[in-house]
């Protein structure tokens, strides 16, 4: 009788959509309804089980209800190879080699939102093929200091560029049924002491510099999950920081997705329960201590939490909120039956990898038109430097990948020029011979027993004998370079490269320096060396992408996503002397490092411009093999109503002889304001492809958001009436046309 009654009730309440499909399984029903249905069927134990890991990268779902496991993967440059269930070491699969995509800093340097979408789509296809549900990326932390070990995984120093270049990536990933996990919210701006850093940041800098990309991901981007940082803020860990997670993300921004901890970022149960964290991953457990069968029961959000729920320490409402978010994430991904199967290392992926790699390369300097390489003149080409032969996909921390293949720069250049020019190679220095991360090896043996003098002599001889010298050096992904968990120790290039570059220049001034790195470095030789190229970690197609640009097959169109400071002292974080902060203790008596962000909103070009400092290359800088002439910037009106809009148009002509792309940049200057404001701020950009002799029009819509600042007194964004200047240019330091208007 009871069963009959229950069935009737279930039918009436719509639990069954059709005869057999329960509501939570029925993809035609609204997501929230499905979530509520699933939640109502779960036991307390099942609820607790679903909000923490069961292995290094997965959570268990609800087996009894057929709700599948949720599988995460790094992220953000490709799909991480399979590790053991309980260990970081390799599982030893032979079918998990991926296409390694260029580092996100390269994507950002393309200033091309279409490439960003393509990147997201491609990497999601690889994730689908590997049956992964949550891709741990993109990272949208701001490049505050060039020493930060993870700048290569982020989008540079500007909040607007970071926002506009990360949103299409997010869409590309999620359009394919894979969730992004936007990381590391918030203020994970250095790796040194990353578990104990406690940035002290004013509200204005938070809202104007460090929050915008996260806010956009949560609101405009509808990112399905977020990852908290390891660091602290206001003395509380970021991954369950009541201010960051509850007040800002889930409160002000009304975020409905799931908050995932960084791996091992959780330290106690009450804080994790109440601080807005929804899922715990990567905690270090010692199952033996508590005598559990499963070490994961010792997670902070596991048995400890369950006991607290049972004895009334914690209420079920907070738990239900977490479970709802995790169910939603699972339904959007693992339970999406329409998710594509995906593909791995397909021709399309090889191509998109190469296209993005070449699209992000920045031509910093090209005196006397030394580039592109001209085989008619450059019959013998000397390629020098370790980064010409070093594989770079392995290393750098959690973004390290097992690539199906990786083309080094020397291989790419040989493939492109080998038949038309004589190519000779000399290493010049021995830097880093490592080629292993977490059990993945490059297979390269880079050991070299020659002395410094022998290496130098060979390189100089090689340079002297050639018509063109291409030095390919920079950083790599070993500790204290571009690598997670450590910051760089020095702004200079390592391994004596500065001296080597000077010596090579003396030997042969037809010198091109290709700097392969993911963050800023000093270039004391920049005035001398005629051609400088900023290449990044290009992933599988790195060498081909470099060859594409050096040959002119692809006309360079990347622009710097950060200021290339001449010295570290030009960077606010260092000039004002607050890096890496002061040692203190948190409320539990644990070590903590207060880092006052004394420069406030003046990060990157905002700082150099305010202080009249001249960097080696400014933010937004990048040349082409053609030239662009800017016409007059014209506004449709000279006055803007409050909350109104204006239209700005700027004609740009390709005045050279080859087709090219120009990133037209729009900066806004508030001529007079009640609060101090940067000289100007990036508020728009448009990448135009223009044939030789042709003119294209860059169009911008001017809205009041672009004019406003965050007023910490009123806790709101304000656009003050008065005069504004719109500065349109080819870089932050190369403004070609201006227009003015008044905001009423």
Residues binding ligand BGC (CB under 6 A): 74-75, 136, 183, 262-263, 398
Beta bridge partners of 90: 83
C-alpha closest to that of 245 among 196, 233, 315: 233
Q: How far is the CB of 104 from ligand BGC (least distance, A)?
A: 12
Q: How far is the CB of 142 from ligand BGC (least distance, A)?
A: 16
CB 432 within 8 A of CB 387: no
Q: How far is the CB of 230 from ligand BGC (least distance, A)?
A: 6
> What phi, psi does 47 have (nearest 5°)?
-65, -45
Q: How far is the CB of 182 from ligand BGC (least distance, A)?
A: 11
- For ligand BGC, the closer of residues 69 and 208 by Cβ is 69
C-alpha closest to that of 697 among 735, 649, 739, 656: 649
In the numeric block, the tokens 């800088």 are attached to 621
- For ligand BGC, the closer of residues 228 and 729 by Cβ is 228
Q: How many CA atoms lie within 13 A of 292 on its CB side?
A: 14
Phi/psi-derived region of residue 586, left when phi > 0, alpha when psi is between -120 and 50, beta in every other case = beta
- For ligand BGC, the closer of residues 115 and 136 by Cβ is 136
Spatial distance between the Cα atoms of 106 and 154, rounded to a whole number of angstroms: 9
Beta bridge partners of 698: 650
| Tokens encoding 595 | 């880092």
E strand or H helix at 321, and its extent? helix 316-332
Q: How far is the CB of 58 from ligand BGC (least distance, A)?
A: 12
| Active-site residue list | 262
- For ligand BGC, the closer of residues 180 and 550 by Cβ is 180
The SS3 call for residue 234 is coil
Spatial distance between the Cα atoms of 604 and 159, rounded to a whole number of angstroms: 11
Q: How far is the CB of 480 from ligand BGC (least distance, A)?
A: 17
Contacts (Cβ under 8 Å, ≥6 apart) of 27: 34, 335, 336, 337, 338
The SS3 call for residue 340 is coil
Give how far the C-alpha of residue 356 lies from the chain's centroid of Cα atoms, to the nearest Å.
14
- For ligand BGC, the closer of residues 74 and 406 by Cβ is 74
- For ligand BGC, the closer of residues 280 and 609 by Cβ is 280
Where would I find the H helices in 130-188? 159-174
- Lateral strand order in the sheet of 511-516: 362-366, 531-535, 511-516, 468-474, 380-384, 422-426
| Tokens encoding 306 | 């369950």
E strand or H helix at 73, and its extent? strand 70-73
CB 332 within 8 A of CB 31: yes
- For ligand BGC, the closer of residues 75 and 385 by Cβ is 75
Spatial distance between the Cα atoms of 198 and 590, rounded to a whole number of angstroms: 12
The SS3 call for residue 90 is strand
Q: Please report, for residues 9, 331, 608, 643, the alpha-carbon distance to residue 30 in angstroms, rounded to integers and kept in the order given.
A: 20, 11, 51, 35
- For ligand BGC, the closer of residues 74 and 236 by Cβ is 74
Q: How far is the CB of 199 from ligand BGC (least distance, A)?
A: 16
Q: How far is the CB of 190 from ligand BGC (least distance, A)?
A: 13
| Tokens encoding 483 | 């690598």
- For ligand BGC, the closer of residues 56 and 680 by Cβ is 56
C-alpha closest to that of 25 among 341, 336, 340: 336
Q: How far is the CB of 283 from ligand BGC (least distance, A)?
A: 12
Q: How many CA atoms lie within 13 A of 572 on its CB side?
A: 22
Instruction: Write down how long the chain is.
Output: 744
Q: How far is the CB of 463 from ligand BGC (least distance, A)?
A: 40
Q: How far is the CB of 68 from ligand BGC (least distance, A)?
A: 21
- For ligand BGC, the closer of residues 131 and 567 by Cβ is 131
- Interhelix angle for 159-174 vs 113-129, to 10°? 40
Cα-trace Rg, the chain = 27
Spatial distance between the Cα atoms of 744 and 653, rounded to a whole number of angstroms: 34
- For ligand BGC, the closer of residues 269 and 438 by Cβ is 438
> What phi, psi does 655 have (nearest 5°)?
-95, 5
In the numeric block, the tokens 């360079």 are attached to 556
Secondary structure (DSSP) of 555-583: ------SS-B-SSGGGSHHHHTT-SS-EE
Q: How far is the CB of 183 from ligand BGC (least distance, A)?
A: 5
């Amino acid at each position: 009788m009871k069963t009959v009654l229950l069935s009737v009730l279930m039918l009436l309440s719509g639990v069954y959509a059709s005869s057999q499909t329960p509501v939570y399984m029925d993809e035609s029903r609204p997501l929230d309804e499905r979530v509520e249905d699933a939640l109502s069927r779960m036991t307390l134990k099942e609820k607790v089980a679903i909000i923490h890991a069961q292995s290094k990268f997965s959570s268990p779902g609800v087996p009894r209800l057929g709700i599948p496991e949720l599988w995460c993967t790094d992220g953000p440059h490709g799909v991480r190879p399979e590790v053991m269930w309980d260990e970081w070491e390799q599982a030893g699969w032979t079918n998990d080699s991926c296409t390694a995509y260029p580092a996100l800093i390269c994507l950002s340097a393309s200033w091309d939102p279409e490439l960003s979408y393509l990147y997201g789509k491609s990497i999601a296809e690889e994730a689908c093929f590997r049956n992964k549900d949550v891709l741990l990326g993109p990272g949208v932390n701001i490049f505050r200091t060039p020493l930060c070990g993870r700048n290569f995984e982020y989008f540079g120093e500007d909040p607007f560029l970071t926002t506009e270049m990360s949103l299409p990536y997010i869409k590309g990933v999620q359009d394919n049924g894979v969730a992004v996990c936007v990381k590391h919210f918030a203020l994970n701006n250095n790796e040194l002491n990353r578990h104990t850093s406690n940035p002290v940041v004013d509200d204005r800098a938070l809202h104007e510099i460090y929050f915008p990309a996260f806010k956009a991901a949560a609101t405009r981007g509808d990112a399905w999950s977020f990852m908290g940082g390891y660091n602290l803020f206001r003395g509380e860990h970021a991954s369950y920081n009541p201010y960051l997670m509850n007040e800002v993300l889930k409160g002000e921004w009304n975020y409905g997705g799931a908050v995932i901890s960084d791996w091992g970022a959780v330290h106690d149960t009450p804080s994790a329960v109440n601080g807005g964290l929804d899922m715990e991953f990567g905690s270090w457990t010692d199952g033996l201590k508590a005598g559990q069968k499963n070490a994961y029961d010792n997670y902070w959000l596991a048995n400890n939490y369950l006991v607290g729920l049972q004895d009334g320490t914690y209420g079920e409402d907070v738990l239900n909120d977490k479970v709802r978010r995790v169910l939603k994430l699972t339904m959007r991904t693992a339970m999406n039956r329409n998710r594509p199967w995906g593909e791995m290392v397909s021709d399309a992926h090889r191509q998109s990898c190469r296209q993005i790699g070449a699209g992000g390369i920045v031509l910093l300097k090209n005196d006397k038109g030394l580039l592109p390489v001209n085989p008619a003149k450059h019959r013998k080409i000397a390629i020098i430097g370790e980064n010409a032969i070093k594989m770079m996909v392995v290393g750098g921390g959690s973004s390290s990948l097992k690539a199906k293949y990786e083309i080094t720069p020397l291989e790419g250049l040989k493939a492109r020029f080998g038949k038309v020019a004589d190519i000779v190679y000399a290493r010049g220095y021995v830097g880093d011979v490592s080629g292993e991360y977490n059990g993945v090896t490059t297979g390269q043996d880079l050991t070299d027993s020659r002395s410094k003098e022998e290496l130098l002599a060979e390189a100089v001889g090689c340079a002297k004998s050639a018509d063109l010298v291409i030095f390919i050096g920079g950083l790599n992904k070993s500790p204290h370079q571009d690598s997670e968990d450590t910051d760089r120790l020095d702004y200079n290039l390592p391994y004596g490269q500065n001296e080597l570059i000077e010596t090579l220049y003396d030997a042969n001034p037809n010198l091109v320096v290709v700097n392969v790195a993911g963050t800023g470095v000093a270039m004391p030789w920049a005035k001398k060396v005629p051609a400088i190229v900023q290449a990044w970690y290009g992933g599988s197609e790195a060498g081909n992408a470099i060859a594409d640009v050096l040959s002119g097959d692809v006309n360079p169109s990347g622009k710097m996503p950060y200021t290339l400071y001449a010295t570290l002292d030009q960077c606010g974080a260092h000039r004002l002397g607050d890096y890496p902060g002061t040692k203190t203790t948190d409320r539990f008596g644990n070590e903590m490092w207060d880092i006052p962000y004394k420069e406030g909103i003046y990060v990157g070009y905002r700082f150099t411009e305010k202080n009249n400092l001249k960097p080696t290359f400014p933010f937004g800088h990048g040349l082409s093999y053609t030239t662009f002439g800017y016409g007059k910037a014209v506004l449709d009106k000279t006055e803007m109503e409050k909350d109104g809009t204006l239209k700005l148009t700027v004609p740009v002509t390709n005045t050279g002889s080859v087709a090219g792309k120009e990133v037209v940049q729009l900066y806004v200057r508030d001529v007079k304001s009640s609060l101090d404001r940067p000289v100007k701020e990036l508020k728009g950009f448009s990448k135009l492809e223009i044939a030789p002799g042709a003119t294209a029009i860059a169009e911008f819509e001017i809205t009041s958001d672009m004019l406003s600042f965050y007023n910490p007194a009123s806790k709101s964004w304000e656009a003050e009436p008065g005069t504004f200047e719109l500065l349109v240019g080819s870089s932050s330091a190369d403004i070609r046309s201006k227009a003015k208007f008044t905001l009423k």
